[in-house]
Structures are given as C-alpha cells and as structure tokens.
Chain A
Amino acid sequence: MKISYRRTGGFAGMLISHSFDTDTLPKTDAEELVKLVSAADFFALPSKITATGADQFQYTLTVETAEQQHTLEVGETSAPENLRPLLEKLRLLARGKPDL
C-alpha cells in the first residue's frame, strides 16, 4: 500500500509532504497504517471535506492499493472521528520532513 501525505496551512503556514510505502516501512508502522486506513473506511470517504475557522491544517491523502486508489482533502476539525488516528499517525511519521 502506498500513501502520499501532504499537509498545508497551520499557524506557521509550512508545507510538509511525504510518501510512504508499506513495503519499505518498518513492519509495526506498516501494519498500523493498513489497520488505520481500514478503520477510517478511507475508500468510502468523499474527496473533499472542508473545515471553517483559521490556521487549521489541511491534509491531502492519496492511498493506493493493488485494487483501488482514492484521494481525500480534509481540514483538521472536519475529519471524521475514525479518520483522525490515521492523520495523527501520518503527521507524526512525516514530522521533520518538510517539503523545501
């Protein structure tokens, strides 16, 4: 499974993007990501869920498996509750990897 992650906005306005491949990630991270994508029912989510307010992170996620592919654009507080653990995991994995 491949996941491309892009985070923009936020108080600091910094852009962070990173791509993950479960074939090359450490086993525990890879397994957790597969579980979180499934828990989020990611492929059933719409392509865009916007949030109101200001300084919120906006995430763009693309998840690709052998069978399907889906891209979602979502604002911090508009994320469905079962998607938040996946966003948090990716956010922490991508930390310190800004797109310069």
Chain B
Amino acid sequence: MSHQFYSIECIIPPHIQNNIAEKGTPEQRKKVMGSISQSAAIRAQRVLLTETKALVEPVTVGGKQRNIFNLNFGSNLPGILARSEGAPPTGDPAVDEAYEGAGATYDLYQQEYQRESIDGKGMRLDSTVHYMKGYDNAFWNGRQMVYGDGDEDLPEPQRIFNRFTIALDIIGHELTHGVTQFEAGLVYRDQSGALNESFSDVFGSLVKQRQRNQTAAEADWIIGEGLLSPNINGIGIRSMKAPGTAYNDPLLGKDPQPAHMSDYKTIDYDNGGVHINSGIPNHAFYATAMEMGGYAWQKAGQIWYVTLRDRLTSTSVFADAAQQTYLVAGNLFGGGSLEQQAVRAGWQAVGIQIDAGDSGGNGGGTGGDTGSGGGTTSPGCSTALVQLLDNVKALIENRSR
C-alpha cells in the first residue's frame, strides 16, 4: 500500500542533515534535523556544485582511459606521458603498476557498481609516477593520482619505504579520493576526514580482494602490503581486520589506529587524525563483510558505495555513515534482512549503535514495514518530498535560463 511511497520519501532521511549540526548540542541537532526542506535545498546545491566541479575537470573521455606520466623525480605535474590506454607494458614497474592498478580500480567501479570512472562521467584517469626524490608518499591532488618511489635514493639496508605503486590497494585508495570528491565531498578533517580516508581504504582493499578473487574470510585486509622494506617490522600501513597492528618498529613506532570508539583519538596533527581514526569505520566495514560472508565487494561494497554516492554530505560523521549504511542495506536487501542486520552488527563491533526504529525497508519483504510502523515516521516527510521536487524543478529552470 503506502509502503513503497514511504520508502521513496525517505530517500532523504532526517539524518542527512547532520552536516548543519555537526558541532551543535543534541538539542540543536534535533532542531536542525527537523527541517527537511533545508536538507533538500542543500542537496540541490550540492548537485549543482558537483556538476560545476565536473565542468572544470579538464578531460572527460568516456570508457576506460588511462594516462601514466613520468616525472623523473621532478615536481612539476604531470610530467612526460609514459603509457596511454592500450599501449603495451613499458618495463618500468612504477608506470606499469600505476596503469594496471588504475584499470583494476576502474573495473571494480564500472563492473560492480556501474560507475563510469572517478566523476561517473568517464573522466580520464591520470597518474604520475617517480614524483620527486626520496618521496615516501602517494596522494590525490584534486585532479590526478601521484606516486613517489619511497627511499629509492638510499642504499637498500637504509630503506624504510618501497615505491608506492607496489600495493594495488594504494592505487584504489587514491582513485577513491577522487570518487569521494565528486560524491559526498567529505571534508578532509576530523570525523568527516576519517570517513573520507576509510572509504578510500575500503574500496582500495576491495580492488585487491576482487583481483585476487578472495572472500572476506580469505582476504588479509591489509592496506599497503609490501610498501614497508624488509628492514621494517610491519606487514603494511593499516589493518582493517585488526587496526593498530600493521607495524611496530623502532624507527616507525607502532601503528596508532584505534578499532573502537572508546579509543577514538583527539589529535592536533594529520587534519585531526584522519589516517588514524579511520581505523574505526574501517573495522566496521570489515566486521560487516565478515558477518555477511562471501565476496566483500558484492553486498557490503554495494551498500558502502551507494551510501557514499547518495547519502553522505561534506560534514557527515561516523554516526551518519552508520545510520545511512543501515538504511541503504534496508533499501537494497529489505528491512530486517540479514544484510541489514550485518551492517548493524558491524557498527556495533566498533561501539556505534544504530537507531533501528527506521529500517528503511522497501516494503518487499515481511520486514519491509518496520520503518513505516516505527515511531520515527515524520508527518513532514511527504511535504519534504514535495519541497525537494520543487527545489529540483527550480534548479533546472534556473540552469536552463
């Protein structure tokens, strides 16, 4: 009956409004969350912003188009074209790993989630390798991936880092920063920044698991495997399975990642610890995927992807990600489904409780009406949908003028 209509109007649930109320008191949050029309306006604005961003992107080609540039240890991006789409291997491991890795990442997004490249519109995948001398990092500069060679300039016994293209998940991680930029746009600071980092680790790991054809139980869930030289006591940079255990070495210290909200770290560096507190949502994804079983990129990955694409905003926090993945699981697999229960258990494992009053079911199954029957049904929900449609209509009219 009204089930399907209910599920449509709850495409924009109140929780998405947390972006306005991130720093507010619980009372303030409640107040802002009551105003769904604001959410619709913000969302419409974000659509516009996303499209504007896409317009300034230099190259949108469609299909899988990779360009790998070589900087020969300089710093002026992007460098000299070393391998373009369809060209044979060059024999330079950094060039070829960047090429293959970008391809494997593109394939995950395209074949599993029907996403066309970073921007969803076929943006060309540009990567630069051999960035600067002794450069122990890889990054996303807002337009392209960039990889250093670690400690290539030092004698082997003194090296800490290998080249950053060595681990496929690092490549998937960097490329996913691009996807996040075009979708949720999570601000790179504190909890929203840690979520940004976590989504990169999640899809980076899924690229690797898919290439190895590993189930959640078979995967190692290590980020940056092979990046640390044999001189260092560590298996990688982060562990999604057991955050805080990836390395422990006199030179590098100990992996600082927490695995539970009770160990959340308030720190004044790394943009408020975006690479550190990401251990919490990372572990929630791992726990969810293990609970579901099978290949993690299929169900758990799908839920996380749709959440990143449709549900989160620039200032979403961990609790928003938890609630939204739960609602998306309800939409995709049914309210009260095993998948939805797995999401709830996954977040519970890291100390984040989900309000189960609204299960977001699509009404298709027996548990599908748990949402509409719950006490959280807002009388303003259908009004909000009308307002959203009005906003979208106004937006389209404005743009066509």
Contact = CB atoms under 8 A, between A and B. Distances in A.
Contacts, number: 98
Contact of A12 (B77, B177, B275): B275
A87 B17 CA distance: 41
Contacts of B39: none
Given A11-B237, A54-B196, A77 B141 contact: yes
Interface in A62-100: 76-77, 81, 84, 88, 91-92, 95-96, 98, 100
B224 A11 contact: yes
A5 to B, nearest CB: 13
A86 B76 CA distance: 15
B177 A54 contact: yes
Query: Most chain-A CB neighbours within 10 Å: which of B132, B138, B200, B269?
Result: B269
A16 to B, nearest CB: 9
A57 interface: yes
A91 B153 CA distance: 13
A77 B137 CA distance: 13
Contacts of B196: 54
Contact of B270 (A13, A76, A96): A13
Nearest to A51: B141
B139 A95 contact: no
The number of chain B residues touching the other chain, given as a range, is: 35 or more
B275 A13 contact: yes
A96 B269 CA distance: 19
A76 B142 CA distance: 12
Query: Most chain-B CB neighbours within 10 Å: which of A8, A9, A54, A100?
Result: A54
A24 B165 CA distance: 37
Interface string A1-24: 000001011111111000000000
Query: Most chain-A CB neighbours within 10 Å: which of B75, B133, B160, B170?
Result: B75
A9 B271 contact: yes
Given A54-B140, A76-B139, A77-B77, A95 B270 contact: no
Interface in A1-53: 6, 8-15, 51-53
Contact of A53 (B136, B139, B158, B237): B139
B134 A10 contact: no
A55 B140 contact: yes
Given A9-B270, A11-B170, A98-B251, A53 B133 contact: no
A95 B133 contact: no
Nearest to B278: A13
Given A53-B139, A54-B177, A96-B158, A9 B253 contact: no
A56 B271 CA distance: 11
Interface in B76-123: 76-77
B347 interface: no
Contacts of A53: 139-142, 177
A6 B270 CA distance: 11
Interface in B169-200: 170, 173-174, 177, 180-181, 188, 196-197, 200
B280 to A, nearest CB: 14
A30 to B, nearest CB: 20
Contact of B134 (A76, A95, A100): A95
A84 B134 CA distance: 14
B304 interface: no
A39 to B, nearest CB: 15
B291 interface: no
Contacts of B40: none
Given A8-B269, A15-B270, A55 B139 contact: yes
B274 interface: yes
Given A11-B173, A15-B270, A56-B137, 16 more contacts: A9-B271, A9-B275, A11-B164, A12-B137, A13-B276, A52-B142, A54-B139, A54-B140, A54-B196, A54-B197, A55-B137, A81-B76, A84-B75, A91-B134, A91-B135, A92-B153
Would you list the 10 A-B pairs with minimal beta carbon distance, nearest first?
A: A13-B275, A55-B139, A8-B269, A54-B177, A100-B253, A53-B142, A53-B141, A10-B137, A52-B142, A56-B139
25 contacts: A8-B271, A9-B269, A9-B275, A11-B173, A11-B174, A11-B275, A12-B137, A12-B227, A12-B275, A14-B252, A54-B197, A54-B200, A55-B138, A55-B174, A56-B139, A58-B271, A76-B139, A77-B139, A77-B141, A84-B75, A91-B134, A95-B134, A95-B151, A96-B251, A98-B252
Interface of A: 6, 8-15, 51-58, 76-77, 81, 84, 88, 91-92, 95-96, 98, 100
